[in-house]
Amino acid sequence: MSQVGCLIDTLKRQLRAQGKTYADVAQWLGLSEASVKRLFAEKHFTLARLECICDQLNIEFAELVQAMQAEELRPQQLTQAQEQSIVDDRELFLVAVCVVNGYSFDEIHHQYQLSETECTRQLLKLERLKLIELLPGNRIRRRVAANFRWRSGGPIQQFFQTYIANEFFRSRFDGESEQLLVLNGLLSRAGNDEWQQIMQRLAKEFHALCERESSFPLHKRFGTTSVLAVRQWKYALFQDYTRQLDHS
């Protein structure tokens, strides 16, 4: 991503942190909300508009740049060894997933059968793994990037595929908060690449939505898992009937 794109993403996080919306920005800039959404989508701001927004947020433009640079230094993934150490300790795994999803110390302690001492012990392990920083008063500060994700094919993703996937799909997906879409079609390699880019944008939208709602009390939020997957694949049931075509 370009530095301009990173700067705009940092600006969006500053807006969310202060509870501001596109409607607020539209009022500050004297534009329609649709125009502001387009500016953010296209990441196309004049310096004057950026300075205006910073003034309204009571931050210096230089502070915005510093926040962007600090975010760029945060790791987007853990190492293979770090993930393995988390998977090997079930309680540590539970606490790690909680902090990645923005849980506070009290929320972890009250929602799960972990004593305050055990909670603290696991959080200190995560601090040694550089996933978080444990601050006075048991406040948790994540030390990873906003777009943090588990390693592709890494220990945690493998754990999910082995132990959780079957349970996840053991549902009719007809509940109020459930939906399952299975899409099948024919795409070229270029079309497949474009669809994967769309999936990446959806993933960013999901994380942005989680961040926007992070100020809601825990009892108004619930665990939500969305699986986005794509692969060149044919049903094994029909494999014996498939002709082997020459694609050279």
Q: Is the domain of 65 the same as that of 84?
A: no
Domain boundary among 23, 49, 73: 73
Q: Is residue 181 one of the residues assigned to a domain?
A: yes
| Range from 44-48, 115-119, 138-142, 222-226 carrying the lowest mean pLDDT | 222-226
**3-class DSSP assignment, residue 95:** helix
Asked if residue 241 has pLDDT above 50, the reply is: no
Q: Is residue 247 one of the residues assigned to a domain?
A: no
Helix 22-29 × helix 47-57 angle, to 10° = 120
* Rounded Cα distance, 70 and 142, in Å: 13
Q: Is the domain of 84 the same as that of 51?
A: no
Q: Is residue 57 one of the residues assigned to a domain?
A: yes
Q: Is residue 248 one of the residues assigned to a domain?
A: no
Asked if residue 163 has pLDDT above 80, the reply is: no
Q: Is the domain of 65 the same as that of 89?
A: no
Q: Is the domain of 43 the same as that of 86?
A: no
Q: Is the domain of 86 the same as that of 66?
A: no
Q: Is the domain of 46 the same as that of 29?
A: yes
* Rounded Cα distance, 119 and 98, in Å: 11
Q: Is the domain of 182 the same as that of 120?
A: no
The whole-number pLDDT of residue 238 equals 53
CATH of the domain at 9: 1.10.260.40
Contact in structure between 156 and 150 (CB atoms under 8 Å)? yes
Q: Is residue 163 one of the residues assigned to a domain?
A: no
Q: Is the domain of 52 the same as that of 32?
A: yes
Asked if residue 121 has pLDDT above 90, the reply is: yes
Instruction: Report the Cα–Cα distance between both ends of the chain, in Å, rounded.
Output: 34
* Rounded Cα distance, 110 and 108, in Å: 6
Q: If you search the block for the tokens 């596109």, which residue do you land on?
A: 22
Backbone conformation region of residue 102, classed left if phi is above 0, alpha if psi is from -120 to 50, else beta: left
Count of domains observed in the chain: 3
The predicted model gives 15-33 an average pLDDT of 89
Q: Phi/psi of residue 202, each to 5°? A: -60, -40
Asked if residue 136 has pLDDT above 60, the reply is: yes
Asked if residue 61 has pLDDT above 80, the reply is: yes
Q: Is residue 67 one of the residues assigned to a domain?
A: yes
* Cβ neighbours of 19 (radius 10 Å): 9
Query: Average per-residue pLDDT in the chain?
Result: 83
Asked if residue 122 has pLDDT above 90, the reply is: yes
Q: If you search the block for the tokens 């939020």, which residue do you land on?
A: 221
The whole-number pLDDT of residue 85 equals 92
Q: Is residue 18 one of the residues assigned to a domain?
A: yes
Q: Which residue range forms the structural domain that includes residue 185?
A: 171-236
Q: Is the domain of 97 the same as that of 135?
A: yes
The whole-number pLDDT of residue 242 equals 46
Token pair recorded at residue 10? 């940092």
Q: Is the domain of 61 the same as that of 119?
A: no
CATH of the domain at 102: 1.10.10
* Rounded Cα distance, 77 and 156, in Å: 11
Domain boundary among 53, 73, 93: 73
* Half-sphere CA count of 144, side-chain side, radius 13 A: 19
- Digit-coded pLDDT (tens) for 90-106: 899 999 988 888 888 98
Domain boundary among 73, 104, 121: 73
Question: Quick one: DSSP state of residue 244?
Answer: -
Token pair recorded at residue 57? 């947020």
Q: Is residue 30 one of the residues assigned to a domain?
A: yes
